[in-house]
Amino acid sequence: MNHVCTIVPPYLLQHLAGSRADRSARFTSSVADVAGRTLEHDAAVRAARSSSLTAGPGAPGLTRTISDAHGSQTLPGAQVRAEGAEATGDAAADEAYAGLGDTYALYQQAYGRSSLDGAGLLLGATVHYGRAYDNAFWDGERMVFGDGDGEVFTRFTVSPSVIGHELTHGVTQFTAGLVYQGQSGALNESLSDVFGVLVEQHAAGQSAAEASWLVGQGLFLPAVQGRALRDMAAPGTAYDDDVLGRDPQPATMTGYVETTDDNGGVHLNSGIPNHAFQLAAVAMGGRAWERAGQVWFDVLTGGTLAADVDFAGFAAATVAAAGSRYGDGSDVQGAVRTAWNQVGVSVR
C-alpha cells in the first residue's frame, strides 16, 4: 500500500480547523470549515488508498497529461492538456504542466533518470480537485491539486517546490520505499523537500547561496503571517501566525519531537535532515543539485538503504556515498559529515 502524502501537514490544518472568526478578523469561519473538511478527506483517503502502479515501460521522453476534476473528488477528471499541446489559459492547469516538466528536467538532466520510475513513467496531474480543498498530494499514481480556501491558501499549483516535493514521493516509492513512520517517514518527507527545492532552483538556475530554501513559497495569501510551509535554512521560522500557530519544525536533534501524531512526526522532524542538506549544499557552494543533490540522489536510488532507516543510518549512507563519488577525505565528504554533526546527528 502506498501512503497518500500531502504537502500541508495535519497539525497546520488542525490549527485552522479550530479557528473561528471571533479569534481573528482576518479569516472568516469558512476557513475553519474548509480545514476540517480537508482533514477528514485526507484521513479517509489515507485509509482507503492503495496503488497498483508499477514501473515502465514508458515513453522515450517527457509525457504529461493534465486533467480537471471541476470541483469533484473523482479522479482523474477530464483531460484538458496533453504533452505538447498549447496552454489552456487555466492558470492551475498550465502551472501543473510546467511544474511536472520542471521536475522531469531536474531528474533527467541532473541525474539521468527518466521520470519517476527511471523508465519514462507518464506524469499525470489533476487540478481543481474538490471545493476549496486546502492541500495537494501524491496518491501513488498521480499529482492532485486543490484550489485553496482563498483566504489562507491560494491554489497549490503556484509553487514549483510543492510539485517537485509531491512527485519525489513517487521517486521514493520506486526506489528506497521508505516506511512512512517515525524517522524513516521524516526522511521520506525530507527527501521530497530536498528535491522539491532543487526542482525550483534548477528551473531558476540558482546557486545554493541565492536560493530561498523555502518549501511552498507563495501558497500563503497576504493575510497570513508567514513565508512558506517550511524553511530548510531555518526550520521553525517559516510562519508565525495567531491562527495557524508557529512553525513547529526543529532544526537540530535537541528539538526532536516524540509524538504519535502525524505518523510519528514525519512533517515535524523532517526539519532536521532538511537543515543538514541545506548546510551541506551551502558549504559546498555552487549549484545544490550538482554535488549535494547528487550525493542524496545516490543514496535514495542506490538500492542498499533499509526501508526503516533512521537519521543516523541515512547520515552514514550520505557520508559513504560522498566518499564513493568524490573521494574519501574530499571537501564534499567533509561538508556532508560536518552538516550532519551540526544538526546533532553524529557521523564519524
Residue positions annotated with a catalytic role: 166, 267
Burial class (CB in 10 A: 0-12, 13-18, 19+), 228: buried
Local structure of 13: helix, strand or coil: helix
Q: Rounded to the nearest 5 degrees, what angle is found at the Cα of 128, between the Cα atoms of 167 and 211?
A: 45
Which triple of cell numbers denotes residue 171? 521517486
Cβ atoms < 10 Å from Cβ of 109: 11
Contact criterion met (CB below 8 Å) for 240 and 162: no
Which triple of cell numbers denotes residue 251? 532544526
Local structure of 281: helix, strand or coil: helix
Among 212, 169, 198, 190, residue whose Cα is nearest residue 274: 190
User: What are the counts of helices (DSSP H) followed by strands (DSSP E) for the chain?
Assistant: 11, 10
* Amino acid at residue number 239: Y
Contact criterion met (CB below 8 Å) for 212 and 238: no
N residues, the chain = 348
Longest dimension (CA), the chain: 60
